[in-house]
Amino acid sequence: MFSDPLKNTFEFGFIPGETVVDFGSGAGHYSHVLSKTVGSSGKVIAVDIQKDMLVRLKNEAEKDGRNNIETVWGDVEKLNGTHLRDGMATGAVLSNILSMVEDKQGTIIEAKRVVRPNGKICVVEWSSKISRNKMKELFENAGLSFEREFDVGSHHYGMIFRKPA
């Protein structure tokens, strides 16, 4: 079984009114579900380096009446590459992106930068691409603490990390 954004988003524990950044959003599988989760009082910021994916995501969001999704063209691997303010988000989602980027540590540092103190970074990743231990090591090296792991199917794992208060 593959990873289910609806089930995983429930595990992330975001609530209405929060701001969440979807790193490497692609076509927006998580952005659309997160949009429902944070509601009209919240915001989802979808960041991707592929402009065509962002256009597609924005068009679908508008068609569905989801006014709480903002798209940002940016590079998640570089410090300030997302063009977002420091500490502006409640949390971030990194789904199947860390196995694809060259600079994994840079991506984690950028996520940490945009998440407020005590905010969380939620990870879903292919278990065949990056081991759980390696993932924990990458986040701990960035100064984030492991909060918990959750089941996302036989080919993936999910983890939540917390930024220090």
HSE toward the beta carbon, residue 85, CA cutoff 13 A: 6
- φ/ψ of 22, rounded to 5, equals -100, 100
Q: Which helix (H) or strand (E) holds 8?
A: helix 5-12
Q: How buried is residue 32: exposed, middle or buried, by Cβ count under 10 Å (0-12/13-18/19+)?
A: buried
- The hierarchical CATH code for the domain 5-162 is 3.40.50.150
Q: Where are the alpha helices (DSSP H) in 14-146?
A: 29-38, 51-63, 104-114, 132-141
Ordered by start, the domain boundaries in the chain are 5-162
The two counts, helices (H) then strands (E), for the chain are: 5, 7
Cα separation values, 33 from 79, 86, 130, Å:
27, 24, 25
Cα radius of gyration rounded to whole Å, the chain = 14
Q: Which helix (H) or strand (E) holds 22?
A: strand 19-23
Q: How does pLDDT run across 45-54, given as a tens digit for each residue? A: 999 999 999 9
What's the whole-number average pLDDT of the chain? 95
- What is the per-residue burial (b if ≥16 Cβ within 10 Å, else e) of 60-85? ebeeeebebbbbeebbbbeeebbebe
Give the model's pLDDT for residue 22: 98
pTM here is: 0.95
Residue 1 has pLDDT above 50, yes or no: no
Closest by Cα among 15, 62, 59 to 36? 15
Q: How does pLDDT run across 57-66, given as a tens digit for each residue? A: 999 999 999 9
Q: How does pLDDT run across 66-93, given as a tens digit for each residue? A: 999 999 999 999 999 999 999 999 999 9
Q: How does pLDDT run across 29-39, given as a tens digit for each residue? A: 999 999 999 99
Amino acid (1-letter code) at residue 105: Q
Could you give the angle at the alpha carbon of 10 between the alpha carbons of 19 and 2, nearest 5°? 115
